[in-house]
Chain A
Amino acid sequence: MKDLKIFSVSEYVERLNALLYEHDAVVEGEVSEYRVNQQKWIFFKIKDEGAVLECFSTVFRIRAPLEDGMRVRVYGRPGIYAKSGRLSMNVEWAEPAGEGALKRAFELLKAELEKEGLFAQGRKRPLPSIPRTIGLIASKESAAYGDFLKVLGQRFGGLTIYVMHVQVQGAEAVSNIADAFAYFNAHHKELGLDCIALIRGGGSLEDLAAFNSREVAYAVFGSVVPVVVGVGHEQDVSIADFVADLRASTPSNAAELMVPHRADIARFVDAMANTMTYQMDTLQSDARTRIDDAVGALDGVVTARSHEIGRMQERIFLRLNFFHERTIMQRSKIDGLVRLMRSFSPHAVLERGYAIVKKGGEVVSSIRNLKPKDLVYVELKDGGFSANVLNQESRIRNEE
């Protein structure tokens, strides 16, 4: 006994801890007394029929939802907490073990993420109706990969598909998938990605663990590019499905949802070309009809006007005739008048043997306007002569 080294408590606990550190292990048991302190520290125990092991971890390391009674596998290293002297497992990761626990963990995580809004319908983005470039996250060895590409090829051509080969199962799966999303999102512009497909074949809850993990859920949720998730058989549902912008029931269905069928599109193209041709014909015949109508209308106007002009002409002729007759009538009336007027003319008097005496071009009507030696002009019915006045006599004498 005396030979043994004497430690201080601190030294001894430290030494034990150094030894214990080497004994990392995966331990399976049932969770009890699970609690989280300050939203950071996780304390719980795992137990079986014969023993209890205290566990310690942080919320950053344990992403799977745990609860009392759940069967889990934890991985970590044991150590003694110096202040209390209690041994506990410092847990690095923990996962539900067995279908029941997995199912329960699935439900818990689903409820939690739903509450966080990861499944909200409002955030789901529409896929481009006709993509050019697709990012594919899948295992190249899987049947899912072959099915997806086959269906894609049957439906549409000329697509570019960028493939990120990942483990879809096992320890690497979660980080592989998360990295693939990170890569596609970092390069989506240069690749021109229209959408991303995350696919795998069906399997048990354990097989699908990666697709039911918080990390993959966040990777899908955080993707800038719209995501289609197609897992397994029709009845397989994963957390990633709920987060996806579009959930496909199988990998083949994912391909169906992502690209239209070329025959359908060809039919649409033909239909559109037909519509355009038909409408163009209509446009042309409409224009022709409009021109014909315009010509017809013009014709009508011209005919109507020419009728009108004819009627006007007739009226004018009638008027002219009337005037003409009136003119003739008036002409004879005027002739009568002229004759009447003529009878009053001095010339008519001359006819009867009278003479007109003019002096300096003016008619002399009184003897008082004449002096002896005045030169006068005497006009008779058929001529005239000049004469000098010899003397003048008063009218009274003249009448004698």
Chain B
Amino acid sequence: MKHLTRFLAMLGLALSVALVHSWVHGPLVVRTGDPKAGRPLPERPETAARDPSGDRPAQANDEPDQPDATVPRGTPGVTPGATVPRQFDVTTFGKFIDFDEAVFLHGFIDSGLVVFVDARSREDHYTAGHIAGAVRLSADMFDAGHPDVDMFMGSYPDDVRIVIYCSGGDCDESESTRARLMMRGYEVSHIYKNGWDEWSVRVGLEKIRVGIDP
């Protein structure tokens, strides 16, 4: 009887603290229903991608297609004269994607099938430079009810494919933003794990036609 009383007291204590915590933390958003599969991507982007300056479309026909490549010429990630490193099948993309996969998906930004989300919490990092076309949505913005969150939800259907990135490394910010997006129904998302640290360097080194917005 003594141990049962103690057990119930511990349950009560934990649930009381959890109640206070939930009140302090604010509401969580839980999406009901089955997970979505996401819209399939066409084999090629419908529109030419941005170049780093952001004001000129990439040249689509300056070199012939690579015969064994899924990624077309003019697609971000395809440097003129370079060999496409591998085939891409978006259905096999996991939670974490690498640079090449991120570049591939970046080619679909203008079609609206893919959106890049900058999850870095500091706005000055975003303004200092970000992947072209990326929308800034940090976890803090969700928690604070930032109007950009509502704007995002109003602008993109919940089956849009989202690529989330932050600075790089383990990058908890991407995970946090992804969790919040998923709770709002955006369940088709990938984390570009190496994030801005890699993108900002490799895009410059490999002269890839993907943008860095100033």
Q: Note whether A and B form a binding pair.
A: no
User: Residues of A with Cβ closer than 8 Å to B?
Assistant: none
User: Residues of B with Cβ closer than 8 Å to A?
Assistant: none
